[in-house]
């Protein structure tokens, strides 16, 4: 019987396409995945995957959503009048709660035993985990992606929760077995691709004034790290061309395939090192 591993999808906004490419490689290599931990965009992909979607389906949904992401009207449902405390933490008028509540309901997504979502307590900066089947999924997803300065925090019990990346971009410590860690790097230079003013601002901010540049280090003796690099793409560059998104997907697949094959050869993972190809087949 093949031993299953855990999977961690780290934070990184639009760079989540790398995760989807890696997921494709995992499927083709026949690696059995048990629990999936997700932070921010990683939490979204973890939710789709543990609800039963495969990489092709997730890619298709992401690309379709991406086509609409340039529409500022989309932000309308996120605009809210915050209480003073929330505003002082989030410095924003945008809340992810309503859009996620609608999306979770509309897509029929459920919390489940294979899913672990990580958010961060704004006051203590400690991790807050959403696990099991009895929490409100839209709150967990909203909290995990509530990047201060862009989105308002989420009230939960007596806490205010913010983006799990403020705790750790790739939290591996909660994994009980060997895990594959899909880590998305930071933008460290400005993009040469022409961007809209909002994306250009976020790019500038991630390079020069990062809000969330918290720990990224993972235990490589225990886990398999797949580190994806795209130093000119910032997490909030939602107006990227589809070509660039597909490039990230392809790179995630190729690099993931390379690292995972090696891990199988080293006996760290179980799977078929012969599986897969050199290029990811794209979704319809």
Binding site for other proteins (CB under 8 A): 51-53, 56-57, 60-61, 64, 105-110, 284
Residue 52 Cβ vs other proteins, minimum distance, rounded to whole Å: 4
Q: Which CB atom, from 108 or from 197, has the smaller least distance to other proteins?
A: 108
- 32/26 Cα distance (integer angstroms): 8
Residue 109 Cβ vs other proteins, minimum distance, rounded to whole Å: 7
Q: Which CB atom, from 132 or from 215, has the smaller least distance to other proteins?
A: 132
Residue 137 Cβ vs other proteins, minimum distance, rounded to whole Å: 12
CA proximity to 212, closest of 3, 13, 43: 13
Residue 246 Cβ vs other proteins, minimum distance, rounded to whole Å: 17
In this structure, the dihedral spanned by the alpha carbons of residues 129, 53, 60 and 40, taken in order and rounded to 10 degrees, is 0
Tell me how long the chain is. 284
Q: Which CB atom, from 266 or from 284, has the smaller least distance to other proteins?
A: 284
CA proximity to 58, closest of 99, 12, 27: 27
Q: Which CB atom, from 76 or from 209, has the smaller least distance to other proteins?
A: 76
Tokens of 7: 């999977």
Residue 179 Cβ vs other proteins, minimum distance, rounded to whole Å: 24
Q: Sign of the C-alpha dihedral, residues 213, 214, 217, 223?
A: negative
Residue 238 Cβ vs other proteins, minimum distance, rounded to whole Å: 18
Q: Which CB atom, from 68 or from 189, has the smaller least distance to other proteins?
A: 68
Residue-wise DSSP of 97-120: HHHHHHHHHHHT----TTEEEEEE
The DSSP symbol for 151 reads: S
Q: Which CB atom, from 106 or from 176, has the smaller least distance to other proteins?
A: 106
Q: Which CB atom, from 51 or from 178, has the smaller least distance to other proteins?
A: 51
Q: What angle do CA 220, 221, 227 make, to 5 degrees?
A: 15
Residue 79 Cβ vs other proteins, minimum distance, rounded to whole Å: 22
- 202/204 Cα distance (integer angstroms): 5
Tokens of 159: 């806490």
Q: How far is CA 22 from the centre of its chain?
A: 12
């Amino acid at each position: 019987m093949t031993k299953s591993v855990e999977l961690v999808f780290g934070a990184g906004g639009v760079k989540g396409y790398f995760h989807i490419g890696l997921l494709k490689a995992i499927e083709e290599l026949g690696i059995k995945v048990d629990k999936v931990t997700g932070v921010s965009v990683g939490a979204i992909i973890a939710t789709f995957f543990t609800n039963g979607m495969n990489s092709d389906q997730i890619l298709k949904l992401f690309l379709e959503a991406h086509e609409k992401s340039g529409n500022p009207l989309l932000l309308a449902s996120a605009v809210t009048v915050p209480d003073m405390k929330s505003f002082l933490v989030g410095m924003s008028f945008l809340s992810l709660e309503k859009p996620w509540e609608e999306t979770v309901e509309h897509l029929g997504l459920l919390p489940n035993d294979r899913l672990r979502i990580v958010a961060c307590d704004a006051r203590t900066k400690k991790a807050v985990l959403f696990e099991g089947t009895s929490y409100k999924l839209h709150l967990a997803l909203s909290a995990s992606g509530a990047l201060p300065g862009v989105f308002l925090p989420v009230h939960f019990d007596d806490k205010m929760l913010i983006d799990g990346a403020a705790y750790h971009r790739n939290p591996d410590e909660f994994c009980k077995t060997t895990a594959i860690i899909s880590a998305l790097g930071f933008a460290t230079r400005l993009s040469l691709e022409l961007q809209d003013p909002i994306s250009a601002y976020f790019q500038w901010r991630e390079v020069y004034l990062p809000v969330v540049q918290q720990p990224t280090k993972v235990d490589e003796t225990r886990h398999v790290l797949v580190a994806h690099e795209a130093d000119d793409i910032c997490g909030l560059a939602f107006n990227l061309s589809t070509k660039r998104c597909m490039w990230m997907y392809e790179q995630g697949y190729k690099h993931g395939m390379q690292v995972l094959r090696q891990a199988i050869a080293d006996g760290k993972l179980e799977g078929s090192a012969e599986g897969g190809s050199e290029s990811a087949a794209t979704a319809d």
